[in-house]
Structure 1
Amino acid sequence: MQRIEHRACSGGWQDVYRHDSKVLDCAMNFAVYLPPQAQERRLPVLYWLSGLTCSEQNFITKAGAQRYAAEHGVVIVAPDTSPRGDGVADADGYDLGKGAGFYLNATREPWAAHYRMYDYVVEELPALVEADFPVTDARAVSGHSMGGHGALVVALRNPGRYRSVSAFSPIVAPSKVPWGEKAFSAYLGDDREAWKAWDASELVKTAQEKLPLLVDQGGDDEFLDAQLRPQLLQAAAVAAGHPLQLRMRPGYDHSYYFIASFIGEHIAHHAAALHGEAKVHAGVAHGRHDGCSGGH
């Protein structure tokens, strides 16, 4: 493992590391923010999963999360969104291949050789982080868009592994929208029953743990009706009696301006669970619902 970036930020350090992933069979980057408290004791970890086209860089440079992580004493780990390298399969377009791993384990070639982001995020990366950094095994997970899908799926599939989960603008029903249909067809094949194992709106129906779901969604999101469709998760959660707080934010779009506006509330939400003995409930302060939108 090699540290390739080391920058002072909000009293702590924003680092980026590169390592050879056995699961993905390629070199991978991941970002780690160590708040100042990490110099004195081990801290819990919030894993952040980014969206389509992103790397580990987008969240750490655009979200402004470090100041809140320092305030609450939480380490943030942000991996890349897919395997990388010359030998890794890719495709034309932004929504399949590199930058579009969808946090699943691919079963079809040529993707199966490298595209196992689920195993990487759930098993390999946390094992590395917990072995080599001043952290505890208290984990939370959050993400945006494709990464919001990933956060919901890994939490729902792994009862007891995460103290809390949240998402910004998640793809809640990938088996029913164009982004997911394209990715799932390529990575998993044409059996739509197999797709349900990677679809939050399906997983919530049989979840073994009623871990509360916190979702923020911009009301002016350009992908809201075609790709995100949060009402599908809401309907499934209501039917299953699964706690969900879906907060529609008028005026906000799909960009990091939206994430930066409410990331402080999400980190506070996770910190309450990570520093406490019980898992956090879905209810958090609503804050202001007015604001501006912006570009990606």
Structure 2
Amino acid sequence: MTTSSRYDHYKSLTLKHHDHGILEVIMGASQSANKKLSTADHNLHRELSTIWTDIDKDPDTRVAIIRGEGKGFSAGGDLSLVEDMANDFNVRTRVWREARDLVYNVINCSKPVVSAMHGPAVGAGLVAGLLADVSIAAKNARIIDGHTRLGVAAGDHAAIVWPLLCGMAKAKYYLLLCEAVSGEEAERIGLVSLAVDEADLVPKAFEVAQRLAQGSQTAIRWTKYALNNWLRLAGPTFDASLALEFMGFSGPDVHEGIASLRDRRTPNFDPSCPL
């Protein structure tokens, strides 16, 4: 089904309206023919930060589903974007604002959000994936917060939601070590709502979305608003983590992190620390 004109300016996200007021938000649809993972370049990062305010104001949308096309849910930040952030103060401040808005806009979107994560789930896409009101992962999905591997603090969504979902001990283990979490393990520790076989992922997401769309909209939206006060209480923690992440983009470790990713090798960070 076609979408309203309010979404015409979106180029990196593919948006499809379905029956019962379900809006499907697809990352990487334009890359799927080449079996590529969706990477958050300058434009996709910006669109992921603004789409939630448009969904919030869209009278035709009751529920949003966010998913990835191709080999995975999301591959994290495009290395060109990361390099620009490390080298350009203006880019860094713009992306910081987008990263802040992405988190708060998902939290404050009045419409419920369902995520369907398969394959690798990293970076800006993972922010929306784990902040979704109902997060569904394929059992073989690989959820990775890649910040410390890059040489910057785990900002984005991590500090605001991981300890609340899976507890501080598990959050520290996975965030400090940059360890991958399978979808099956993510469900076991409470990081996601459900884990299903990959073939059942999108149908399950639509099943959940349809149930939400056919329920009492005031009851569902007000319940979401009340529950998300737990996340709003963690706002100062998130703001600090994001500031520390972006301070890291001005330091030396991120350059080694970028180089190691380009060279497909283990990073060799300087063991000295100014703290």
Taking structure 2 as the reference length, the TM-score comes to 0.34
- Which structure is higher in helix share? 2
Taking structure 1 as the reference length, the TM-score comes to 0.32
* Higher relative contact order (CA closer than 8 Å, sequence separation 6+): 2
